[in-house]
A and B are shown apart, each in its own frame.
Chain A
Amino acid sequence: MTSIKTASTRKRSGKVTLIAMGAGVSAIAVAALMQGEEKLDAFQFATVDGCITSGEFTEAYCRAQFATAQTEHARVAPRYQTLADCEAEHGPQACQKPPQVSKSEAVQPGGTSDNQAPQHASTGGGLWMPLMVGWMMGRAMGGPVATQPLYTGAKPGTARTAAGASVDAKTGPVSVAKSKAARPPAGRLMARGGFGRTGTSTGMRSFGG
């Protein structure tokens, strides 16, 4: 017997909307779908005290985020073959050799004076890396803003993420493009093209027929 199906019993999608396909986004390109990128609310601080006195966060949260940024620093800080390479990217006196623990006068985002940049001796043997001069974080853990270290940029008034994205060198609340707030990449590129050869050699598409 034919019956009229209500929305709750029907077996198909109520609505099928596409937001990017057919809207002229076609060629295969990294970030093809990131046109007109969304901005996220984030915070940048140079010190735990600065975070606490902002009045936005508890001391425990500030300390936890700072610790996370330090850990990330060890994992993701860009590495350079020479001091000159590093300083070209991050400015004078902004770099260190990881095994050496030194208290350099790193430039802060926002230009404040005290320094809590962590000194990590664990990784990157022989390579130069910038000093962490602050960090970026979101209002809540696990949100779209990944807690991550910040470094000085070569241009005055700018700071850089480990991924190399330029952000304003200021402390407190900031607005950051979504891709810049993502968890940063780790390490230097060693090789490309290590995936895909088998498919190319069989001459078959990866169609699941």
Chain B
Amino acid sequence: MERIKSAERSDWHKVAQELGFRFHTPGGEPYWREDAYYAFSINEIEDDLENPVAELEQMCFAVVERACRDEEVLERLKIPRNFWDYIQQSWKNRARNLYGRMDFSYSGDGGGPAKLLEYNADTPTALYEAAVFQWRWLEDLQKSGQLPESADQFNSIHETLIEAFEAFGIEGPLHLACEENSEEDLGTIEYLADCAEQAGLSPYLLPISAIGLTDLGGFVDGEDRSIYNLFKLYPWEWIWKDEFAVHLQRSRMKVIEPPWKAILSNKGLLPYLWQLEPGHPNLLPAFFEDAVDTEALGLNFVRKPLFSREGANIEIFEDGCSAETAGGPYGAEGAVVQALSPLPSFDAMHPVMGVWLVASRPVGLGIREDVGRITTDGSRFVPHVILE
């Protein structure tokens, strides 16, 4: 694994416009960067990322299984009791899931196994740039001769998303909802709508606040059409607190990601994975804050609120003292602690490997790097290639 400096395509802004990539420079800060890329060997991709992710996903399923037998798990994850049955039923009914992203600390062959930092199993973004724009970047650099024809990329995200939508068995339209004020979220559901349409579905986009409730307990869109299938780029733990949540189970509306994904997107997943296979090479010791094995954890660790996202409220401890922290609104529900696996440094940048799963299969990689050690929404996306 190497970070290689590279000339930007002179016309990439134009290409971005053609491909509908509008959030590459939010607030004037570049998010998409192609002045460098990461190069991997095929063995690094397959042995160190792809295969471990397939295995970790199976372990995640075991945690969901446990949550369906043992309600202490749901209690621990601070999921409100009145949604337990809804979650458990969705797993028992084998409700299909669409996608997720596992984030790893990894520095390449010889640097030790990739360590799972967290699983964004419910509302991951950075999807479009990994699936489409990164793919196009490689095509363009091959055409211009900057990269050899033999160069490849761990990235069949686009193809597998379409296959997954085809396999969902969705009848009727598919509504896709997000909050209306985020260009990035909107870009994500637009892209998923595009994939859904290519899979033969009828997608409709709407702001999540436009959803209405009828007197018969069903949900409708802004034009009063029934919503039978809803993709929501809006986390389950926020839904629990929303007024309409109590009507979900009875409505029989199919929701993607399915309710059982709430177990995996919770940071409490990390201690349960560690309990399942302590010492697993791709796991870091992790504990609920009130049940720490201090010897296994060590003095360098990270505190993560159960429901945090975008790096908010993450706090790094070194020698037992707080060393770096990111502010934010999370933390009221409690936290987990996880042994610190510092992100490697390449040209003073700290990359985090985001391995994409579609329908629970590892199918691609997107790398975000940050000058700081906590990857936040201010980080930048950098493409990758497989060179040998």
Contacts and interface: CB of A to CB of B under 8 A. Distances in A.
A183 B227 CA distance: 10
Contact of A209 (B120, B155, B212, B364): B120
A187 B218 contact: yes
A205 B171 contact: no
Contact of A33 (B122, B197, B241): B197
Interface stretch (B71-79, B87-95, B231-239, B285-293): B231-239
Interface in A173-198: 178-179, 182-198
Contacts of B148: 2
Given A11-B155, A189-B213, A196-B234, A208 B124 contact: yes
Contact of B158 (A10, A13, A26): A13
A19 interface: yes
B310 A196 contact: no
A139 interface: no
Contacts, number: 252
Given A30-B223, A192-B210, A13 B155 contact: yes
Nearest to A165: B225
B136 interface: yes
B211 interface: yes
B375 to A, nearest CB: 7
Interface in B160-193: 171-173, 177-180, 182, 184-186, 190-191, 193
B202 A18 contact: no
A141 to B, nearest CB: 11
Interface stretch (B13-21, B266-274, B295-303, B342-350): B13-21
B198 A28 contact: no
A31 interface: yes
A207 B226 contact: no
Contact of B185 (A198, A203, A205, A209): A205
Interface string B195-206: 001100011111
Contacts of A30: 204-206, 210, 221-223, 225
Nearest to B312: A204
A95 B211 CA distance: 29
A185 B218 contact: yes
B158 A196 contact: no
A11 B154 contact: yes
Contact of B19 (A10, A22, A200): A22
A178 B213 contact: no
B209 interface: yes
B324 to A, nearest CB: 16
A60 interface: no
Contacts of B386: 11
23 contacts: A2-B387, A3-B150, A12-B155, A21-B190, A30-B206, A31-B204, A33-B194, A34-B202, A183-B228, A185-B218, A185-B224, A186-B218, A187-B214, A187-B218, A188-B215, A192-B209, A198-B241, A198-B242, A204-B329, A205-B377, A206-B235, A206-B309, A209-B377
Given A5-B150, A14-B159, A179-B225, 14 more contacts: A11-B42, A28-B207, A33-B204, A146-B171, A179-B202, A188-B214, A188-B215, A190-B212, A196-B211, A197-B241, A204-B310, A206-B233, A206-B234, A209-B125
Interface of B: 17-22, 42, 45, 101, 120, 122-126, 131-132, 135-136, 138, 148-150, 152-159, 171-173, 177-180, 182, 184-186, 190-191, 193-194, 197-198, 202-218, 220-226, 228, 232-235, 238-239, 241-245, 247, 265, 309-312, 328-330, 364, 375-377, 379, 386-388
Interface of A: 1-5, 10-23, 25-26, 28-34, 75, 79, 142, 146, 163-164, 178-179, 182-200, 202-209
